[in-house]
Chains A and B, each alone.
Chain A
């Protein structure tokens, strides 16, 4: 798996979906999610493409550098959260020259732990955790059944998409949407949608 290819693909998907993410966020959030995330991932992709990051560096190092760029440039709550996710995933991968299927499982688990520690959200709060937690579980299940890297990544992406769709009937308990109480019900969570998008990029580039 090429971490650089993942981040660059994620940046492209986020850019192409930025308007939609921002529209979803305007319904229950502060209407900036897509463009904030676009700025962060564009900076991460630029760091990887430019001289700031050695593209031949171990995947873990590339994810840590991408996380740093995202924290620095995103501007909203999603910056610290996605930045932490990528940094923790990178730290879990360490200096391993290639990512194994088990390594990807550990990295995704570390990302989820980082996000829940920093943001304090649990499953069911209508946040990105509702996409990320099922993705981690699905990847781990695929691994337990002997799945390879590609299978694990695909399982994670599919579970994240389903998890994002399942946020529609939930009432938000974190973030700006939580101020709306029951009025947050009936809308999909934009953070869960962007998490599913980023994991789709992972599945598309994992081989």
Chain B
């Protein structure tokens, strides 16, 4: 059974990789989490080519959820899925959202449920 794929987009290659690492651990070996971090030249920034490659890598047939840190990452994420019906963007905090999405994806839940889990993470308080 394929699970919803998750793409973590950040201006920083290290940040995207780190968030993906944490989210994968929460996905208990079942969630597919692909990082797309850094700009076209590998420095800080966002690359639509990297985002599109990550979407393809995360796509196992059950749809793909995108999470982004801020600014240009968000715009690039939304632009990358403009013409795709099987990929959606989650308006969620990057770390909490990715962890929530990976946890839910690992249960085999559908794209809408995984998106809702990621977005609900915005209201998880730490105090």
Contacts and interface: CB of A to CB of B under 8 A. Distances in A.
Interface residues of B, number: 15
A35 to B, nearest CB: 11
A77 B49 contact: no
A142 interface: no
Given A80-B79, A118-B79, A75 B72 contact: yes
Interface string B33-72: 0000001110101111100000000000000000000011
A79 B71 contact: no
B55 to A, nearest CB: 15
A75 B48 CA distance: 8
B2 interface: no
A155 interface: no
Contacts of B75: 77, 79-81, 118-119
Contacts, number: 50
B13 interface: no
A200 interface: no
Contacts of A75: 39-41, 43, 45-47, 72
Chain A residues touching B, majority SS? helix
For chain A, the bracket of interface size reads: 20 to 34
Interface in A68-96: 71-81, 83-84
A25 to B, nearest CB: 12
Contacts of B79: 71, 80, 83-84, 118
A79 B72 CA distance: 8
A36 B48 contact: no
A73 B50 CA distance: 11
Question: Which 7 pairs from chain A and chain B are nearest by CB?
Answer: A75-B45, A77-B72, A75-B39, A80-B75, A80-B79, A77-B71, A76-B72
